[in-house]
Amino acid sequence: MATYFIISTKIDNQKDRRPYDEYIQKVKPIVESFGGKYIVRSENIAALSDSWQPNRVIIIEFASKEQIEGWLSSKEYKEIEKLRINSVISNAIIVES
């Protein structure tokens, strides 16, 4: 059963975006090494609500929730996670189909 990791990010205008750009470059090969396949990775967003206006949306497909958990807890991911945490506001969910 496919499982999806969905994240929306909002650039914190009071912070430097360069760490997030570095994160974007480094995270893709880590995700793929855990079996993740990018479905959507875009900043081309038409917000339909004033309360939810992300700058970027990412949808990644995995074969299982365990793969997502393995990726998020991996040493490789932990080494770069702070680049995202320190530069954007993000919300994430896991959706099992």
Express each pLDDT in 69-87 by its tens digit.
999 999 999 999 999 998 9
Domain count, the chain: 1
What was the pLDDT predicted at 1? 84
Domain of 32, CATH number, reads 3.30.70.100
Range of the domain at 69: 3-96
Does position 12 have pLDDT exceeding 90, yes or no? no
Express each pLDDT in 21-53 by its tens digit: 999 999 999 999 999 999 999 999 999 999 999
Q: What is the DSSP string of 11-60?
A: E-TTS-SHHHHHHHHHHHHHHHHTT-EEEEEES------SS---SEEEEE
pTM beyond 0.75, yes or no: yes
